[in-house]
Amino acid sequence: MAVALDWQSLGEIDYDRALQLQLARVEALLAGVDERQTVFALEHPRTITIGRNGTRDHILLPAEVLERQGFVVREVDRGGDVTYHGPGQLVLYPILHLAPWENDVAKFVRNLEEFVIRALANVGITGTRVGDLPGVWVGDDKICAVGARVKRRPSGEFVSYHGIALNVNTQLADFGAIIPCGIQDRGVTSVAKVLGQAQSMPFWEQALCDAFCDVFDCAPTHSGMSHADV
C-alpha cells in the first residue's frame, strides 16, 4: 500500500523559518504525536549554508560583501560542506520516519538521488551519480545537491530532515561566492542552462513530486501554508 504523503508548497521562505518548520515536524515524529510523512517544497532567498563537514574557508567573499549582495550565512547540522540556496532553486525537505523504507538511511539517500535522476530523464536530461560525491550531476557539473540528516526514535527508527536542492532557474553566478561542497575541479549547472530556456517552477515542483512518489511509493495530498503559518 502506498504511503500517505503530505506535500506542502511553501513558496519563497527564509532559511531560518524553514528550519523551524522542519524541526517542529521532526520533534513531532520523534515524540510519536504526529505520524504524517511530510515534504516541504520551497525556494530560499540567497543563503549559504555550512554543513557539519564544511569550513568557512570555502566561502570566497568577505562578510561585508556577502551582506551587501543580500546573502545570509548559516551553519547547519546536515552532512556535507558549503552549499548555496537562492531564487530559482527548488528545495525539498522530506520529513519522514523511515520504517516504510526498511529504516535504511543509505538507501534513503540513494533514493533522494534516484527520484531527481528520474525527473530529469523525463525531459531528456541525463543525471548521474559520480563516485562517492553526493548529489546528481550532468557531466562534470552538479545540478542537484543532496544533504540529509537523521535522528533516531526510541524504537530505533530514523527520522529524516534536510534534503535536496535542484537548480532549475538558479542564477549560477551566485555560486561564485563559494566552493560548492568543497569541490574545486567541478562546476554547477541548472535545468534552464541545460535546456537553453527558463523553466516553470510549478512544472518542476510537480515533476519532482511525481518522481518522489514513484520512487518512494507514496500517495500525495497537496497543501500550501498561509502567510500566518510561515
* In-domain check, residue 194: yes
Measure CA of the first residue to CA of the last residue in the chain; give whole Å.
32
The pLDDT score that the predictor gives to residue 74 is 78
**Would you say 79 is a known binding-site residue?**
yes
Q: Which of 7-11, 75-79, 196-200 shows the lowest per-residue confidence on average (mean pLDDT)? A: 75-79
230 in a structural domain: no
Q: Is residue 90 part of a domain?
A: yes
Q: What is the CATH number for 139?
A: 3.30.930.10
Tens of pLDDT, residue by residue over 148-192, are 899 999 999 999 999 999 999 999 988 887 766 555 567 899 999
How many domains does one find in the chain? 1
- The answer for residues whose C-beta is within 8 angstroms of residue 184's C-beta and 6 or more apart is none
Neighbouring CB atoms inside 10 A of 195's CB total 12
Please tell me whether 164 is known to bind a ligand. Answer: yes
Residue 226 has pLDDT above 60, yes or no: no
Known catalytic residues are: 181
In a domain, 229, yes or no: no
In angstroms, the CA 174 to CA 196 distance is 19
**Percent of the chain having pLDDT more than 90?**
70
Does the structure show a pLDDT above 50 at 229?
no
Question: Does residue 208 sit within a domain?
Answer: yes
28 within domain boundaries: yes
Task: List the domain range (segments joined by +) for residue 189.
Answer: 3-224
Cell 524553514 identifies what position? 18
Residue type, 7: W
Distance CA 109, CA 43 (A): 21
pLDDT tens track for 33-53: 999 999 999 999 998 888 776
Q: Is 85 annotated as a binding residue?
A: yes
Residue that is written with C-alpha cell 540556496 in the block: 85
The whole-number average pLDDT for the span 58-84 is 78
81 is known to lie in a ligand binding site:
yes
**Mean per-residue pLDDT, 118-127:** 98
Query: Up-side HSE of residue 173: CA atoms within 13 Å toward CB?
Result: 1
Task: Count CA within 13 A, CB hemisphere, residue 220.
Answer: 22
> Crossing angle, helix 201-216 and helix 105-121, to 10 degrees?
130
